[in-house]
Structure 1
Amino acid sequence: MNGIQRSKPTVIVDGVELSPLLDETMIRKVVHGFYDEIRRDPLLGPVFNAAIRAEAWPSHLAKMCDFWSATLLRTSRYAGRPLPPHLVIPGLGEEHFRRWLTLFRAVVKRICPPDVAAIFMARALRIAHSFRLAVAFNRGENTVQIEPIIEDSL
């Protein structure tokens, strides 16, 4: 070693510096905790369990950990396209996204410190709105009237 200490690079997400507490372990806890809730949920469980075979769940969870790692920690582990599988789910609507966000918020608030939970939620709200717009557009619906779901409305 040459005596020069290299610090971990600062990661900024949505204009906010990430807490050093946000790491791969926390992301894994959030992803696994969230999907445990999803699979038991009376509204979302049937949708997810129909779309993801029982033996495919470990792979799906690993992919979602990669997604959130890439999204928040700026790693390059995720190279997929998360939207297309959602476009083929019949009847996917606002109530599903609201429930998804409600469960996600409960999990991040339980697992993460408040500043990290806020970063997760800000990103989740943006993703939900983007997906809602894409689903409606894909169905030929008018997207002009689709308002973002705000956290205070959950």
Structure 2
Amino acid sequence: MAADAKRRSRSQQVCMSGKQQSKTTTVIDGVPLSTVLDEEMIQRVVHGFYEEIRHDVLLGPVFNNAIAADAWPSHLAKMCDFWSATLLRTSRYAGRLLPPHLAVPGLGEMHFRRWLSLFRAVVERVCPPEVAAIFIARSLRIAHSFCLAVAFNRGEDTIQVEPILEDSL
């Protein structure tokens, strides 16, 4: 019985032209994804965020040293693919997000905190609250995962790495 209810919550039957079709609702972290989130919104978030990053006093030099000026269009497309795969469950992103970050010397919690602050500001400006909340929740988990990986890669004690909480930004 519970399995049937779960299946019904993940999809709904709709009648179109006399035919029944199954329309799947994507569920992120137990929350049905708003239908207003689409590729265009993801593109606005990604492009707006990296525009902020490139001009930021702390993060601008890190990103601008790591990404050549002529490589930015490719990087933006890759990040749009990443967020599309992450939130819309497309299969467009096939890369590995972590290795380039591990190669950045001195990357630390202050960088991730700033990244999260800028990201939150952009998604709150671009997205309705329910979509912004999904972006923010996912970005907090990504940041924590990266902080753990950076610490581990440097041989540091990962037990001491605390998650960055939204209310601490």
Matching residue within 63, 68, 87 for 2:78: 63
Aligned residue pair count: 154
Tell me, in whole angstroms, the C-alpha distance in 2 between the residues paired with 1:85 and 1:8: 37
Structure 1 stretches of at least 4 aligned residues deviating more than 3 Å after TM superposition: 5-8
Query: How far has the Cα of 1:6 moved from its partner?
Result: 3.3
SS in structure 2 at match of 1:144:
helix
Structure 1: tracts of 5 or more residues without a match = none
**For residue 130 of structure 1, what is the aligned residue in structure 2?**
145
Structure 2: tracts of 5 or more residues without a match = 1-15
Matching residue within 54, 57, 61 for 1:46: 61
Tell me, in whole angstroms, the C-alpha distance in 2 between the residues paired with 1:8 and 1:60: 32
Tell me, in whole angstroms, the C-alpha distance in 2 between the residues paired with 1:11 and 1:84: 29
Q: Would you say 1:10 and 2:35 are equivalent positions?
A: no
**For residue 39 of structure 2, what is the aligned residue in structure 1?**
24
Larger radius of gyration: 2
TM-score, normalising length: structure 1: 0.97
Identity of aligned residues (%): 78
**For residue 116 of structure 2, what is the aligned residue in structure 1?**
101
1:60-106 Cα offsets, whole Å, 9 max, x none, are 00000000000000000001100000001000000000000000000
Quick one: which amino acid aligns to residue 36 of structure 1?
A: E
1:108-136 Cα offsets, whole Å, 9 max, x none, are 00000000000000000000000000001
Q: Would you say 1:150 and 2:168 are equivalent positions?
A: no
Quick one: which amino acid aligns to residue 121 of structure 2?
A: A
Quick one: which amino acid aligns to residue 62 of structure 1?
A: A
